[in-house]
């Protein structure tokens, strides 16, 4: 049995969706960031990074969304969450997921996690980072819209973990001051995802 740690409003939604789509037996444990449960001694023994997601397997703990998505897809191949039979397409999935992790998520984090890059007392720098978020998020999604999202799914007709991850980060746009409708393909992708019962079930747990 897998044990999955998550918190509402975080990127953990992507891996939680993957577990649901894969039909993976698991126990989901919700952390309350407002109570700093991610910094509790108990959780830090699970994930010393103090972040989510974290997935406890029989062989140890996995962290970082791209790693979890790959692990789930490969562990439950019958779910067809990744093109495991095609080295190039599988690399494209990892390329897309890595971009979301290394660039898009970091852009978003500058709004509420600026203290990761500057001292908390440097209010001018923190405000400058917040001010930049709508621009950097819009630029990232413009690239996704124009170059990376084939439609209707990220890989075209083939559904993958990249769709779960893209949907998760698309949900952040409104709060980051960016209208989803600026990106027709992304907006259509979001509508398709929200119509799926698996998404509706897991999103309800993240409210």
The structural domains of the chain, with segments of one domain joined by +, span 2-80, 87-196
Kindly state the average pLDDT of the residues 66-71.
98
What fold characterizes domain 87-196? Glutathione S-transferase Yfyf (Class Pi); Chain A, domain 2 (1.20.1050)
pTM above 0.95, yes or no: yes
Lookup result for tokens 């994930």 = 47
Q: Determine the pLDDT at residue 157.
A: 98
Kindly state the average pLDDT of the residues 138-145.
98
Residue 124 structure tokens: 């001018």
Q: Determine the pLDDT at residue 60.
A: 98
pLDDT band at 184 (very low <50, low <70, confident <90, very high): very high
Q: Determine the pLDDT at residue 170.
A: 99
Cα 98 off chain centre by? 10
Q: Determine the pLDDT at residue 119.
A: 95
Q: Determine the pLDDT at residue 155.
A: 98
Entry field: residues in the chain: 207
Q: Do domains 2-80 and 87-196 have the same CATH topology?
A: no
Using CB atoms within 10 A of its CB, is residue 5 exposed (0-12), middle (13-18) or buried (19+)? buried
Q: Could you give the 3-state DSSP secondary structure of residue 103?
A: helix
pLDDT band at 190 (very low <50, low <70, confident <90, very high): very high
Residue 33 structure tokens: 């960031």
CA separation for the pair 153, 85 (Å, rounded): 18
Evaluate the omega torsion of the peptide bond into residue 178 and state whether it is cis, within 30 degrees of 0.
no
Percent of the chain scoring above 90 in pLDDT: 100
Count of other CB atoms within 10 angstroms of residue 206: 18
Residue 166 structure tokens: 């893209």
Kindly state the average pLDDT of the residues 13-23.
99
Kindly state the average pLDDT of the residues 126-134.
96
Kindly state the average pLDDT of the residues 119-126.
94
CATH 3.40.30.10, domain 2-80, yes or no: yes
pLDDT band at 173 (very low <50, low <70, confident <90, very high): very high
Q: Could you give the 3-state DSSP secondary structure of residue 145?
A: helix
């Amino acid at each position: 049995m897998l044990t999955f740690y998550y918190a509402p409003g975080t990127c953990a939604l992507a891996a939680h969706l993957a577990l649901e789509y894969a039909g993976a037996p698991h126990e989901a444990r919700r952390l309350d960031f407002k109570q700093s449960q991610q910094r509790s001694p108990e959780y830090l023994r699970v994930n010393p990074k103090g972040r989510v997601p974290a997935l406890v397997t029989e062989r140890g703990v996995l962290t970082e969304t791209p790693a979890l998505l790959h692990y789930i897809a490969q562990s439950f191949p019958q779910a067809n969450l990744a093109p495991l039979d095609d080295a190039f397409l599988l690399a494209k999935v990892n390329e897309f997921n890595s971009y979301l992790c290394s660039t898009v998520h970091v852009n978003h984090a500058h709004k509420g996690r600026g203290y990761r890059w500057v001292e908390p007392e440097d209010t001018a720098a923190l405000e400058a980072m917040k001010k930049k978020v709508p621009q950097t998020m819009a630029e990232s999604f413009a690239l996704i819209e124009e170059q990376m999202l084939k439609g209707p799914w990220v890989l075209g007709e083939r559904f993958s973990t990249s769709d779960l991850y893209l949907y998760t980060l698309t949900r952040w746009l409104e709060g980051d001051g960016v209208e989803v409708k600026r990106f027709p393909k992304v907006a259509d992708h979001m509508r398709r995802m929200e119509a799926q019962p698996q998404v509706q079930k897991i999103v309800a747990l993240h409210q």
